[in-house]
Structure 1
Amino acid sequence: MANRTCSASVSSLFASSRPQGWAELPDDLLRPVVALLRSFRDLLAFGTTCRHWCDLLSAHRSSVQPLPLHPNLRTDDGQSLSHNCWTLFHKCTWRLADPAATSSSRSFLSLSDLRSMTFLRCSYGQLIFYHNNGFHIVNPFSGAKVGPPSLRSVPFTCISYVTLTAPVASADSHLLVGAGAYLFLWRIGGDSWTKHSPKVGRFLIEQSVAFKGKTYALGSFGWFYIIHLSPSLIIQKFKIVFEEDITEDLCSANDKAWLVICGDALLLIKLVEAGRGMRSEAFQFMAFKLESFDTMTKKARWVKVNKLDNWAIFISVDERCEALSCMNPEGWGGRNNHIYFPSYQSEKPWAAVQLWKKCYYRSMCLQLFNTGRRYLKLESTWVFPARFLVPACDDLTAVSVVGDWLLIQLWWEDSTMLQSRDE
């Protein structure tokens, strides 16, 4: 009897001390599990188990690979379509591929309703379009749309750029619109616009990122900006200077550039023609790290980065789309120190080249330099689920399966409205 009583006491003590549910499993046990997950579908399923797992996965976002969003160049009856602007605009659907997928049939969601909309920018995992006199922020995973009130005082022809200032789930997220000498800001979920006159001259955003509590923007004509939204809108303007350059020019007329956060560094990736003559058949990706600011001379100094170590960079060719990074890409079959970009040359919707290595491939070179400069429609790009871009998880209210994708629906309450967010 004494032995049975002792055993029962020990069992009761063990039962009361062990985790009572998935959310109570210790982080030391869960972190190795996250490290072993390879495909994006497994990562997304892990993140939607509970709020604690969602937060844990977000803390390891740097190891999550982005997904290529690309046109499906085959009709319903299996016929192949050529890659040209009219095909992308009127006939094809869109697919989300998983670089770590082992099967030949990749998961996808149809985004065919975007064909009639004018593409403006991909920012913080969201696609921004203009249609029927209004802006539309579209989630590429669910197709869910949210938009601000109409900006009636500004015709579309006057709009020079549009971007988000932070992930849509962040409290300080705004849609920033530039038109002439003015900036317009709409807080996500708000009911009105605010108008500003920054007075910085020739202000045109090509890329923007939030880094260490500040918003940095890459502009045209070799300019770099620091944008302060609070307590009031203030823009600091700097000239870009590369360490080894004699001049201050950002790039030639045909070069492209992207900002990307890579660990604790803010990088600028340049795509340049590497051959000789006017019709080059070679290209090269270069990388520079933001080193310092000189407030007296108004110059931002960038130094050369020879290697990315255990990182890979994903660029979208179209400069309207953000660049993304991934740590330890070997975990899903990728390669370190490589630049990934969309491609229409093979069965895979992407290609990769080593940083600073010259690549001699004429058709690919033409695609890299011409894509996104002549058309106003969506081109192939890389996207993250917006959920992976913020450090905290909202209350979970619905989990659903669309196609082969497990989607989670999040809700939040604004002072003026209740909106749903599909992430």
Structure 2
Amino acid sequence: MANRTCSASVSSLFASSRPQGWAELPDDLLRPVVALLRLFRDLLAFGTTCRHWCDLLSAHRSSVQPLLLHPNLRTDDGQSLSHNCWTLFHKCTWRLADPAATSSSRSFLSLSDLRSMTFLHCSYGQLIFYHNNGFHIVNPFTGAKVGPPSLRSVPFTCISYVTLTAPVASADSHLLVSAGAYLFLWRIGGDSWTKHSPKVGRFLIEQSVAFKGKTYALGSFGWFYIIHLSPSLIIQKFKIVFEEDITEDLYSANDKAWLVVCGDALLLIKLVEAGRGMRSEAFQFMAFKLESFDTMTKKARWVKVNKLDNWAIFISVDERCEALSCMNPEGWGGRSNHIYFPSYQSEKPWAAVQLWKKMLLPFDVFAALQHWKTVPEIGVNLGLSRAFPRSGLR
């Protein structure tokens, strides 16, 4: 069918009497091309050809696999480099690991000017840093940076969470900063910050995702929030309750969990220890789907998801990096119903575990997953189609 579509499109293209550029090629000709692309370099080349092609690729972002950006902690002469929570970039080279490729390769990106900056979060394919009383939103593929006015009234030590609410090219994109009892919002490209007081008791965001026009956040002490950004800031607070709970307090701040959007469902992925061994650890990933909200009891109910169908999920050991989903991973050689995470091996930078399946892993890999809140990992998941440069970004 793709061949017939291509043939018909080519015929109509050359039948046109006027010259046409790359941006004017019809979508029904380009879509089969996108479906055939597998490797990161090919996708990047396609997406950076022109804005039209970038928009077309972004529309198919759910089927594009994330990348793993991680530092090479050894110099060319074999010397080891210190690695401190992504704050030291001096003499550090970077590698991009594509799950569709056999191994990672040296990145062509230059991030050397980011040394001494403090890495805060990865959101919509952008890296968010803090330096000299200011935030910096960095496109890791181009090095382009954008930043808000200085938030001088808030000490850096008070900042607990930072994220984007939408891709930087979106008209609704804001930088959201949680600090103490307040939330601060800066519209990308704006001149000032807006300050809000949530008034929902103790408020500490650990993760957030945008889903169906709202922002959902996972907080400390088992709380779950719905954040309405417009027309005015409103926050609803709910307790997390799983379907099979008896005590209704299974989830706690100590659980390893990730929020991720899979199509029309909002999922919570949990990492649960399944056993112990001398040299390896057994664990399994569980999945739950947001089912309903009870506004009377202030509880958010989640039901068990047995299979991810044609989806794969990429998680990061580093809590500063959001989880990403990928549809039809078999198209690039991946596996559906699997959780992908960094393996810390240069020859095989990604590892995959089937959902709900108990798995034994080497102790160092399990330890990294087990202590994900305290041990910085060496990888960042980048949503490839979300990180292409757009016009207007300087």
TM-score normalised by length of structure 1: 0.77
Query: Measured at CA, do residues 291 and 17 of structure 1 come closer, stay the same or move farther in structure 2, by a change above 3 Å?
Result: farther
- The count of residues paired between Structure 1 and Structure 2 equals 377
CA distance in 2, matches of 1:317, 1:353: 14
- Counterpart contact for 2:285–2:356, Cα < 8 Å: yes
CA displacement, residues 212-260 of structure 1 (integer Å, 9 cap, x when unaligned): 1111111111111111111111111111111112233353554211111
Return 86-95 or 105-114, whichever deviates more. Answer: 86-95
Q: Say which is worse superposed, 18-27 or 295-304, in terms of deviation.
A: 18-27
Cα contact 2:311–2:329 (8 A) shared by 1: yes
1:34: how far off?
1.3
Give the superposition deviation at 1:24.
Answer: 3.9
Offset, 1:69: 0.7
After TM superposition, give the deviation of residue 96 of structure 1 in Å: 2.1
- CA drift at 1:366: 5.8
Cα distance in structure 2, aligned partners of 1:50 and 1:57: 11
Structure 1 residues 85 and 278, CA gap change in structure 2 (3 angstroms): farther
| Preserved contact between residue 66 and residue 383 of structure 2 (Cα < 8 Å) | no
Give the direction of change, closer, same or farther, for the CA distance of 1:95–1:384 in structure 2 (3 Å limit): farther
Residue range with higher mean Cα deviation, 1-10 or 130-139: 1-10
Alpha-carbon separation, structure 2, partners of 1:66 and 1:384: 13
1:121 aligns with 2:121: yes
CA contact (8 A) 1:290 1:302 kept: yes
> What per-residue deviation string (whole Å, max 9, x for no partner) do you get for residues 296-345 of structure 1?
11111111111111111011111221110111112212111111111214
1:46 alignment partner, SS class: helix
CA distance in 1, matches of 2:183, 2:67: 32
Question: Contact conserved, 1:255 with 1:273, CA < 8 A, in 2?
Answer: no
In structure 2, C-alpha distance between the alignment counterparts of 1:381 and 1:368, rounded to whole Å = 30
CA distance in 1, matches of 2:273, 2:181: 33
Over residues 104-145 of structure 1, what are the superposed CA-to-partner deviations in whole Å (9 max), with x where a residue is unaligned?
745442324434222221112111121112211121212222
Match of 2:159 in 1: 159
Among the aligned pairs, what percent are the same residue? 94
Pair 1:252–1:33, CA change in 2 (3 A): same
Measured after TM superposition, the shift of residue 82 of structure 1 is 8.4
**In 2, Cα distance between the equivalents of 1:230 and 1:10?**
45
2:236 match: secondary structure: strand
* Alpha-carbon displacement from aligned partner over 1:362-409 (angstroms, at most 9, x marks no partner): xx55666465xxxx9999999787xxxxxxxxxxxxxxxxxxxxxxxx
Distance 1:2 1:296 in 2: 52
Structure 1: distance between partners of 2:4 and 2:324:
60
1:128-178, Cα deviation, whole Å (9 max, x unpaired): 121112211121212222221111111112222222111111111111112
Q: Secondary structure at the match of 1:369?
A: coil
Q: Which residue of 2 aligns with 1:218?
A: 218
Q: Does the CA contact (< 8 Å) of 1:160 and 1:180 recur in 2?
A: yes
**8 Å CA contact 1:198, 1:235 repeated in 2:** yes
Tell me the C-alpha RMSD between the 2 structures.
Answer: 5.9
| Mean CA deviation greater in 346-355 or 376-385 | 376-385
CA distance in 2, matches of 1:85, 1:165: 24
User: 5+ unaligned residues in a row in structure 2: which ranges?
Assistant: 359-366, 375-379
Does the 8 A contact of 1:342 with 1:380 survive in 2?
no
- Structure 1: tracts of 5 or more residues without a match: 359-363, 386-422
Cα shift at 1:287? 0.9
Q: Give 1:351 deviation, angstroms.
A: 1.5
Spell out the pairing of 1:7-156 with structure 2 (5 A cutoff): 15-16=15-16, 20-79=20-79, 92-101=92-101, 105-156=105-156
In 2 relative to 1, CA 355–253 (structure 1 residues): closer, same or farther, beyond 3 Å? same
SS in 2 for 1:86: coil
Summarize the Cα distance change of 1:344–1:103 in structure 2 as closer, same or farther, 3 Å threshold: closer
Q: Conserved in 2, the CA contact under 8 Å of 1:338 and 1:354?
A: yes
Contact 1:166 1:174 in 2 (8 A): yes
What is the alpha-carbon distance in structure 1 between the residues aligned to residue 320 and residue 198 of structure 2?
22
Partners of 1:367 and 1:4 in 2: CA distance: 51
> Take 1:4 and 1:138, find their aligned partners in 2: how far apart are those partners?
42
Judging changes above 3 Å, is the alpha-carbon distance between structure 1 residues 294 and 17 closer, same or farther for their aligned structure 2 residues?
farther
Q: In 1, Cα distance between the equivalents of 2:327 and 2:2?
A: 57
